[in-house]
Amino acid sequence: MLKYILILVFSISLLSSERPNIIIIITDDLGWGDVSYNGGPINTPNIDKLADDGLQMNRFYSAPTCSPTRAALFTGINSLKNGIIRPLNNPTAERYGLPLKHKILPEYLKEIGYQTALSGKWHLGMFSDEYLPRNRGFESTYGHLGGGIGYFDHALSGRLDWHRNGEILYEDGYSTTLIADEAIRIIENKNNETPLFLYVAFNAPHTPIQAEEKIINNLSDISDKKERVYAANIITLDREIGKIIDAIESKGILNETIIIFFSDNGPVFDIDPIAATIAPDILDSKGNTLGLKGSKGSAYEGGIRVPAVIYYKGILEKSLSNQFFFVDDILPTLFGALNINPNQNNITGVNRWNDLIKNEIKPPKNVMTGNVIVHDERALFNDKWKLYYRNFVYNENSEKIFELYNVNDDPYEKYELSEKYPDVFESMKKTFDENPLIIETPYINPVQSYLYGDRYIGITDSPWLERTYKEKELPHPIVQNLVFGWIIFLTFKHIIIPVLILLTLVFYFMKFRNNISSN
């Protein structure tokens, strides 16, 4: 009790004089088993130290993919209600962004006197200036705007995607290191009279999986080349996160800084086969969920339960929370810490600040997350129960799959319980049906993505920010059908080719047999 009284007094004193700095560090496709503090095989000592020093969030849930998570983070509205139901593609394939009607976190914080800065990945719109982060509350911006880049050439789909404050930037270096260096520069030059909101969004370990040769060469004990490069990528990520934490300490602002660390979704290792054909580069990833079912893109635990830490020295430290915490909870929870009211009635996230301080567990109540790619995959959480939903979006007659799990007792989702608990199952299905998607970005067109989607092919054209490109038009419907057929063939060729060979053999056997009979 005395501890909570002291914390309350400290918090009131702090809020009456100056507000804490807020530094959010988000990684890209880092899995539950990609950090060693969870028992993963890759050594991540700096992330581990942050987890040891801070509050480990044992039940932190993102959306299954990157743009939906980032949209939920900034709006406080979950990925099924803010309109961003899937990752955004490059502007030659489509032109969408986080709807401008949404007020987002840096805008709120800038209004109350925060310095606002972004270093790293945006991925919430780049096809026109009004969607750029510089025009959405960030005073300084640096990094890349699309979904992924080459780590050394900073290119996406043949064009340079690297900028400072919305202006094209030509710069050598490994992106993970450059993003951290910029974050450190911002911390070191922070105005002591102004609180800082710094959003550090690494592209690691998103595909294309690349790493510095000297790190790769130090991992000769890992026999598989792709696993070796993946480990080197994460080792560098961990090193650079350590440097950022060191910079916070060196600046002398650790005691007055809330640090939030998490991954935007689960790792890539068991991706939907059609999605893998549309975006083949993702197959180079070697992520790890330590047995959690599913991976990036999936609403099973492996796609949405991610490593996360919240650290506020003297307030949230050296402990572990089993509180179910969703990415859209970040905005209202921070506002709870700052004692401000966002005055928005469409926020779905929950203010968990006091729950985290007291380490009290408040069960989730009808909370949803998910995304729509090849499948519409969603998860509905209510207390210990999770209702999983999947539907193939390109066939209106496809089966709608519902599964019920007790994820408290069965985090690996081995035991489907809909028949054992029919009342719970039907009640959650009713809640699910009463909460339809809000769609601002249409479903992915697989042909469009296959022909024009994100690729990592070096630099062959002018930078994205020069905007010399045109949105590619889809071919004639007959050609689209042929391309879609080709996608299906490539996806299932390991089945189709043996079947065709078998049918051919049967045909010739029957023909031979008929010839024998006729003679």
Q: What is the domain-level CATH number for residue 93?
A: 3.40.720.10
Residue 153 is assigned to a structural domain of this protein: yes
Pair (8, 76) in one structural domain: yes
Choose one of 334, 358, 382: the last residue of a domain: 358
Rounded CA-CA distance 467/458 in Å is 18
Rounded CA-CA distance 397/394 in Å is 9
Report helix, strand or coil for 401.
Answer: strand
Rounded CA-CA distance 31/262 in Å is 10
Residue 451 is assigned to a structural domain of this protein: no
Confidence band of 499 (pLDDT split at 50, 70, 90): confident
- In the prediction, which pLDDT does 200 show? 98
Pair (72, 140) in one structural domain: yes
- In the prediction, which pLDDT does 44 show? 98
Highest mean pLDDT among 49-63, 344-358, 391-405: 49-63
Choose one of 324, 358, 392: the last residue of a domain: 358
Pair (203, 259) in one structural domain: yes
Overall number of domains in the chain = 3
The mean pLDDT of the chain is 92
Residue 76 is assigned to a structural domain of this protein: yes
Residue 447 is assigned to a structural domain of this protein: no
Share of the chain above pLDDT 70, in %: 97
Residue 311 is assigned to a structural domain of this protein: yes
- In the prediction, which pLDDT does 519 show? 65
The single residue of 66, 144, 163, 375 carrying the catalytic annotation is 66
The structure tokens listed for 397 are 């007659």
Pair (383, 286) in one structural domain: no
Query: 422-462, pLDDT tens digit by residue?
Result: 999 999 999 999 998 998 888 888 888 888 889 999 999 99
Give the residue among 461, 471, 470 at the shortest CA–CA distance from 168. 461
Residue 484 is assigned to a structural domain of this protein: yes
Query: 299-343, pLDDT tens digit by residue?
Result: 999 999 999 999 999 999 999 999 999 999 999 999 999 999 877
Parent domain of 371: 367-433
Pair (229, 373) in one structural domain: no
The structure tokens listed for 169 are 């930037």
Pair (344, 404) in one structural domain: no
- φ, ψ of residue 432 in degrees (nearest 5): -60, -50
Pair (418, 375) in one structural domain: yes
CB 144 within 8 A of CB 175: yes
The single residue of 102, 123, 206, 375 carrying the catalytic annotation is 123
Residue 459 is assigned to a structural domain of this protein: no
Pair (140, 196) in one structural domain: yes
Pair (337, 382) in one structural domain: no
Residue 39 is assigned to a structural domain of this protein: yes
> 499: how many CB neighbours lie within 10 A of its CB?
10
Choose one of 308, 337, 358: the last residue of a domain: 358
Pair (288, 246) in one structural domain: yes
Pair (404, 280) in one structural domain: no
The domain spanning residue 387 has which CATH number?
Answer: 3.30.1120.10
Per the annotation, the verdict on 123 as an active-site residue is yes
Pair (297, 401) in one structural domain: no
CB 47 within 8 A of CB 239: no
Query: 216-275, pLDDT tens digit by residue?
Result: 999 999 999 999 999 999 999 999 999 999 999 999 999 999 999 999 999 988 777 887
Q: Computed from CA positions of residues 70, 75, 77, 83, in that sequence, does the dihedral angle turn out positive or negative?
A: negative
